[in-house]
Each structure stands twice: as C-alpha cells, then as structure tokens.
Amino acid sequence: MSSELLHPDRISPSSPSPGDRDIDGSFGEDDVDPELLALPPPPRAQRQFTLVLLGVVALVASSMAYSLRGEATYALTPAVALDLGDLHSFDRTKVEANRYVTAHGSLGGALAVRFERPFESDTYRVSPVMGRRDLWVEVRVPAGEEGGRYVPPTSFGGRLIRWSASGLRHRGLETAVDGLTSEAIPADGWLLVDGEAPRAARWSLGLAVMFAGFAAWSLYTASKLLRRVH
C-alpha cells in the first residue's frame, strides 16, 4: 500500500457557507444569523405611532421651554435694583427690559383691572401710571383687603418687562385689559410686576431645564427608532 503525503501548500481551505459558525460558536462579520431572520418584522403601525408621539412631545416641550426664556433669564440677573425714580417721568429709551427696578408714583384707579390666579388666595390688580397709558403696574393684594377702600401703594420694586414679553403668568392679560378698559395698550407698552425679585423667578429655571430635557430625550429616542438595524 502506497501512501502519498500532501504538501501543506496543496491544502486549500474550503470557503465557509452562510450560517457556518466560528470556533467559538459566533457568526462572522458577513454572516447572517438565521434565528434573527426568522423573527417577525416589527409592527409598522405601532412604530409610526410612537414616532409621532415622540415628535409631539418634543414640539410641546420645546415650546414650553422657549416660553420660559424670559423668566429664566430674569432669574439669573443681578439682585441689585435699578432706581427709576418717578414713574410719571419714565423714559423707556433709557432702560432695558427684563430688569429688576425700584420706582415710585401714583396709579390710576379708573382703569384698574382685578384678576386672580389658580391656587392662590390673594388677588392682583394691574393699573396704569397716573397720566400714562404705556406704563402699567401689577400689585398683589392680600386676601381680605380687596374692596372699595383699597388704596394702592406708591412705591414699587420688581420686574420691568414689555407687555409683549410678559410670559406665561400673564398670558391673555393684555387682551383682557384691552377689552375691559376699551383702551388698547400701546404696542411698546411696559409692565412693572411689583414684588417679583430675581430670586422669586428661580422656579422657571427648573421648569425650563425639565422641558428641555423632555425635548432632548424625545428626539434622541426617535432617532434610535429611525436608525436602521444592520
């Protein structure tokens, strides 16, 4: 019996067939796991609904965070108040909006508008400065003191803003004042919110960060769902 020794160079490794496993039982880079192919396709309707829901959450959260930008910026301003002096001689060209200010002056009672906020027992009054229609002051009236004998204060300290940028806490107030007083507030009108120091607006920072986090998480999750699985 004759035997022939094969030279190592003559041995040609056979090419692996699809589904062949490596020595450690795993598949190669170009192989496809047949068990993965056997899985049913993901439900398209549920996936589309999830993407739409994430998009809505991201849009609403972004809008809420954007609407709080004024309060959040004011919360970071210095607590040193700018003295405006007499509000009757207020010069709107020499002061920046969204500032912490102090001032004094008399308020007109004829056009004062009273309003309330949910979950608060105190009420609020917004009145124009005597002799002006472009500058209004919001004061807080403790519970039980609202009435015909109420005398508004003459010295104030708080946040000076434009009516157009008054934020969520004053949403719809300008329209209500226009309707109740029959005198439209000028487009460049100002509002002094008495008693609102920068420290009192720090609540807006937490809400703005929370809404921004919701928006970022929704966009990140949606991007993962849109990413194709190889």
Q: Where are the domains of the chain?
A: 46-77+199-230, 80-196
Position 144 scores a pLDDT of 78
DSSP annotation of 42: P
Among residues 152, 124, 151, 149, the alpha carbon closest in space to that of 138 is found at 124
Residue type, 122: D
User: Rounded to whole angstroms, how far apart are CA atoms 191 and 166?
Assistant: 8
CA angle 221, 223, 228 (to 5 degrees): 120
pLDDT digits (tens, 9 = 90+) for 94-140: 888 899 999 999 998 788 888 888 888 889 999 999 988 889 999 99
Q: Supply φ then ψ for residue 167, to 5 degrees.
A: 90, -175
Among residues 126, 77, 128, 76, the alpha carbon closest in space to that of 105 is found at 128
Q: DSSP assignment of 157-209, as one string? A: EEEEEEGGG--GGGTTHHHHHHHHHSSPPPTT-EEEEET--GGGGTHHHHHHH
Which ranges in the chain belong to alpha helices (H)?
A: 34-37, 44-67, 69-75, 173-181, 203-226
Q: Which H or E element spans position 124? A: strand 123-128
DSSP annotation of 14: P
Average confidence (pLDDT) over 83-93: 89
Position 154 scores a pLDDT of 92
DSSP annotation of 154: S
Position 3 scores a pLDDT of 47
pLDDT digits (tens, 9 = 90+) for 42-66: 677 888 898 999 999 999 999 999 9
Q: How far is CA 66 from the centre of its chain?
A: 4
pLDDT digits (tens, 9 = 90+) for 184-223: 788 889 999 999 999 988 889 999 999 999 999 999 999 9
